[in-house]
Amino acid sequence: MLAQVERFAREVCGLRPDEPVVVAVSGGPDSLCLLDVLHRLGYPLVVAHFHHGLRPEAEQEMAVVEAEARRRGLPFFFKRGDVRAVSGRSLEDAARHLRYTFLFRVARSTQAQAIATGHTLNDQAETLLLHLIHGSGSTGIRGMQPRTLTPWSEHIPLVRPLLQVTRHETVAYCREHGLPTQEDPTNRDPAYTPRNFLRWEVLPRLTYINPRAAEALARAADILAAEDAYLESQLDRWWAQYARGAGEAIRLDRAALLALPLALQRRALRRAGQGRADFAAVERALALARRPGGPPHPWFGGLALWVEREALWIAPQEAPPAADAPQVRRETALAPGETIPLEGEWVLQASEALPADAAQEAWKVRRLTVWEIWLDAERVTWPLRVTTPRPGLRMAPLGMGGHTRKVSDLLGEAGVPWRLRARWPVVISEEDVVWLPGVRLSHTVRVTAATRQVVRLSIQREKGTLNAGRHHLA
């Protein structure tokens, strides 16, 4: 076993021979075997034991681990943690949280290169099965990694040098070398955790089908881990080009998403859902990407999902991305010569009333855009009202001979995103819409040969006027 673990520790776990390694030792056969093997291989070791305070045997277990550390002349660290005192987590979760917090503190204080745990091939098989049984749209279907970074440290990895050794082999090793293994009795209670249930009730039955079922499952985890790594690297390349994060919001290029093979489409959506989207959520998002429409709708866990032009957006429902478009919060009056603020960086400006011939001049030198119009100042009632489109509101767009259309339809046809329509600015004179900024001017207020006085209305960023042409609003 020594040679096998030596190669695995070096080549796969990436352990360097002369920097300290913290070994997490519970006192069970796996961790005692790990301690003994790494010690024989000559790694400088630090022994760490976490005392969960859950069972009467725990004191005895700690004493045994300490004796094993002392016998080898190794530093010994321990901590008594009150797992039951951690609220809001399952007992298992709480124990893991306290244990890893302790292990990483030891690793930092001893400047260790890594923390080694005694996870075996059997643990690997159980982990893969658990992922499969729980449905793992989220984390990807794979087992534990031989070397991995955890949320506890950005630098110190967790390594698992026994990942290709069976539990049976560690027990035999301990027996052969006279190591005083302590078995946690709760490990044997199938009701205790899903993992124990799997270990004692399910896996033994799988060996009826294949005596080496655990090995087969661990191999599958290995294959799937490599495929997962490759698929994620492929996704990385796509993501760098076609996904953009804006605060907590994520924007995916919809055409590029639909051009991906299904496997990467699903992974892109899982990533956009921060790894928490289950299979059904991923499929719902893909269905929306294929047949977009409608306002933002809830995705899962407080996220909303919507399509805007060529983008699929994912953002928290409570805090959608800031609109890159003018939005109105409350109705405001607007008289000639005034500038009123809209939300964000936008303002709406009405020029002083000018004689019509001045407008004629202006007309010559600049091309008016949908964000800047001239109107007949005598056909409206001042002050104008700048407000939002109430349901059912209609206007008579320029060029339609006075025929009216619903404002909501005009906004839709202009490609204004759903989430921006409710607070889109509308400029109203009495009850008539005179301007729908970014979309249309009203027929009724147009400048004609009879016009004597004009006012220019424009929407601009405080930094400067919008350029002509179509604007991507998001």
Q: Which of residues 213-242 bind a copy of itself (CB under 8 A)?
A: 213, 215-217, 219-220, 222-224, 226-227, 229-231, 233
For residues 312 and 304, give the distance between their C-alpha atoms in angstroms, rounded to a whole number.
Answer: 11
Q: Give least dist CB 2 to a copy of itself, A.
A: 20
Q: Give least dist CB 34 to a copy of itself, A.
A: 23
The amino acid at 382:
W
The tokens for 357 are: 């011939």
The tokens for 111 are: 């400047």
Q: Give least dist CB 326 to a copy of itself, A.
A: 42
Q: Give least dist CB 230 to a copy of itself, A.
A: 4
Q: Binding pattern to a copy of itself, positions 19-48, x when CB under 8 A? A: ------------------------------
Residues contacting 269, CB < 8 A, separation 6+: 277, 281, 282, 285, 286
Residue 172 or 203 with smaller CB distance to a copy of itself: 203
Alpha-helix runs per DSSP H in 16-111: 29-40, 58-71, 91-109
446 three-class SS: coil
Crossing angle of helices 262-272 and 213-242, in 10° steps, is 80
Rule CB under 8 A: say whether 7 interacts with a copy of itself: no
Structure-token match 């921060």, residue found: 274
Q: What are the backbone angles phi and psi of residue 324, rounded to the nearest 5°? A: -95, 55
Q: Give least dist CB 233 to a copy of itself, A.
A: 7
Q: Give least dist CB 307 to a copy of itself, A.
A: 21
Counting residues that bind a copy of itself (by CB under 8 A) gives 41
Rule CB under 8 A: say whether 144 interacts with a copy of itself: no
Rule CB under 8 A: say whether 6 interacts with a copy of itself: no
- Name the one range near a copy of itself by CB under 8 A: 60-68, 136-144, 165-173, 358-366: 136-144
Rule CB under 8 A: say whether 421 interacts with a copy of itself: no
Q: Is 114:21 a contact under the CB 8 Å cutoff? A: yes
Q: Which of residues 179-218 bind a copy of itself (CB under 8 A)?
A: 194, 197-198, 201-202, 205-206, 208-210, 212-213, 215-217
Q: Which string of b and e fits 199-209 if b means at least 16 CB within 10 Å?
A: beeebeebeee
Q: Which string of b and e fits 19-46 if b means at least 16 CB within 10 Å?
A: ebbbbbbbbbbbbbbbbbbbbebebbbb
What residue ranges bind a copy of itself (CB under 8 A)? 128, 130, 132-137, 141, 194, 197-198, 201-202, 205-206, 208-210, 212-213, 215-217, 219-220, 222-224, 226-227, 229-231, 233, 261-264, 266, 279
